[in-house]
């Protein structure tokens, strides 16, 4: 199974694709990994571009990503809007909407988890700091260093969390 985690934003959208290892692969692997990193990266847009062009770029890049990586499921973080920052939620909602549209057009299941549920699945604590999530993601995937963008780490955390939640129904 391939899981694509996406951390949507208008400026930098992070993504990460992991593949779940089969029981046979887990038994033969020395470290008995449950999943493997296939691809990770970012989709960027410029503030100098008009909003429709930025959303089009996210749409096209996401469509290509789905075609290239062929995930079985896409995972997004549930939208959390703080009342002090309504504009941020509005902008984030547009990027999320584009990603939801692409997954629907490609007929790929989409699941959403709250940030606290993702942190609890990956770290064991729903209120874990972002730095702890980053280190745990790097450890679980056997990365020698943290990804340059936290958006990538967040996307990978979404994919990892789904692998645990779907497997154990936590």
Residue 151 appears among annotated catalytic residues: yes
The DSSP secondary-structure symbol of 79 reads P
Which of 25, 49, 151, 154 is catalytic? The answer is 151
Catalytic residue among 25, 39, 77, 112: 77
Q: Can you name the residues that pair with 35 across neighbouring β-strands?
A: 20
What are φ and ψ of residue 139, in 5° steps?
-65, -50
Q: What is the DSSP pairing of strand 12-20 with strand 110-113? A: unpaired
The tokens describing 66, both together, are: 């789905």
| Candidates 7, 68, 72, 154; catalytic one | 7
Active site residues: 7, 77, 151
């Amino acid at each position: 199974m391939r899981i694509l985690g996406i951390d949507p934003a208008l400026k930098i959208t992070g993504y990460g694709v992991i593949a779940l290892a089969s029981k046979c692969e887990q038994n033969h692997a020395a470290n008995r990994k449950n999943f493997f990193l296939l691809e990770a990266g970012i989709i960027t847009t410029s503030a100098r571009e008009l909003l429709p062009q930025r959303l089009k770029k996210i749409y096209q890049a996401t469509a290509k990503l789905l075609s290239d990586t062929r995930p079985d499921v896409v995972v997004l973080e549930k939208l959390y809007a703080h009342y002090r920052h309504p504009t941020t939620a509005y902008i984030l909602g547009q990027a999320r909407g584009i990603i939801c549209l692409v997954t629907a057009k490609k007929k790929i299941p989409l699941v959403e988890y709250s940030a606290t549920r993702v942190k609890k699945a990956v770290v064991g604590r729903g209120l874990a700091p972002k730095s702890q999530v980053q280190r745990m993601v790097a450890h679980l995937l056997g990365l020698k260093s943290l990804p340059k963008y936290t958006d990538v780490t967040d996307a990978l955390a979404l994919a990892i969390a789904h692998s645990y939640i779907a497997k154990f129904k936590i």
